[in-house]
Amino acid sequence: MLIANMKSDAVLSLFSGAGGFSYGFAGAGLQPICGVEINRDACITYEENIGGICHNVDISVVEPYFFRELLRSKEPFAVIGGPPCQGFSTAGSRDAQDPRNRLIFNYLRIVAEVRPRWFIFENVEGLLTSGQGKDVFALVREFLTLGYSVRVHKANLAAYGVPQTRKRVLIIGNRLGVDFSLPDEAYSYDSGKSRKPSTKPFAPTLDQALAGIGPAARSRSVTVPYLSENSDNPFEQLMRAKNTTGSVTEHFHSTAAKDEGLYALLESGQTMKDLPEEYQHGSFKRRAFRRVMDGTPSEKRGGAPSGIKRLYGGLQSLTITGSASREFIHPHENRPLTIRECARIQTFPDHYRFFGSAASVAQQIGNAVPPLAATTLARHLQAIDGRFGSGIQTPSCKSEPRLLGFLLTESTGMSEALQKTERMLNSLLQKELGFT
């Protein structure tokens, strides 16, 4: 458990989940005063690892003044968090009417009530085209109305040292009148699907991320000792820090012999579609063709699912989701990734304890903000904010709140859906600059 009296400022963690965002902020000296999370298992995980209280409440039905009372008259430095993403995730049905999508505006109401100096809103890239772009446009416009200068940026968290290519939308704002950018990218990356080579060093590979963990057990109750007393690489050393037990939990699998034979047919990067048809599970065929048959527009399908997929050991992992421990096959062994391996890839340290059923824990890990990326963001805000000695002076007369800029994609092409979002956000830029 983290030490409760470490240097901190008031941070409110919403949609806290297992505490990845909060743990990362605490690592930068910004211990959240509490978490707020609807899932009871995740609340327990949060409290056992972050310390303090995680309020087990439904944010959609709690009045915003509840959160002002939690702060006890403190001026919050930051509100952090992102609502559940399944409503507009490319891995889901992308239903614009999904009630979970409305939670993004509950976040807005809480920011309006507690008035933090900064906020960080994190979510999946599907947010950018949710409601044909109207959701992110309305959200940004309302933040501006509240007096926040805002930047919208689709980032790949591998660029901050996370050993997976994880695309996320970051909406960051402040009410100080300060222009800012996102942290500089420190790493190249390549997962076989997403890549950005450069002169920068590559983020830790999957092999480096999983190094040092012993052979997976066959029972969840078994703890697995490290292969040796020493770490093989800096990332492994970071993950093993503070783990005094010399072993890890949640490192188990229950792969049947017939499935081991099936996985043995897959080379690195290959998926279900690369197997002989007689080995393709019936559910894969249904998932692959369901959206085509029901006439759903192609931009809402999210692509045909790959089912199982063997990862590349020498590259970064694909994005860890709640199904990764069922569908991502270990690069060298004929089994799926274990829950602990997924946690490593999400940069949860080995001493981090998770609570709930195996399925619940897998979902907690898949939904989390990687702590390593969260620490990078926290330190970046500290460097910008004058309260932490950056030298930036808060303006005595604040400039008008404005959209500071946005990055929706780094690719040369842009889908029609994303073009709509670009046009709407450009209208905000033009209005603020006096062009309309």
Q: Which positions are annotated as active-site residues?
A: 85
Bridge partners (DSSP) of residue 336 are: 329
Report the C-alpha gap between 343 and 410 in whole angstroms.
Answer: 28
Give, in degrees to the nearest 5, the angle at Cα 126 between 170 and 18: 60
HSE-CB at 190 with a 13 A cutoff on CA atoms is 12
d(CA 352, CA 18): 10
Q: How many CA atoms lie within 13 A of 117 on its CB side?
A: 18
Instruction: Please report the beta strands in 82-148, taking only residues with DSSP state E, as ranges in sequence order.
Output: 118-124
In the block, residue with structure tokens 């009410």: 175
| Helix (H/G/I), strand (E/B), else coil: 360 | helix
List CB contacts of 236: < 8 A, sequence separation 6 or more.
208, 209, 211, 212
Query: Based on the number of CB atoms within 10 Å of its own CB, is 81 exposed (0-12), middle (13-18) or buried (19 or more)?
Result: buried
Q: Please give the Cα distance from 434 to 431 (Å, whole number).
A: 5
**Are the C-beta atoms of residues 209 and 163 closer than 8 Å to each other?**
yes
Q: Cβ(319)–Cβ(167) under 8 Å?
A: yes
Sign of the torsion angle spanned by Cα atoms 363, 205, 333, 212: negative
d(CA 408, CA 183): 16
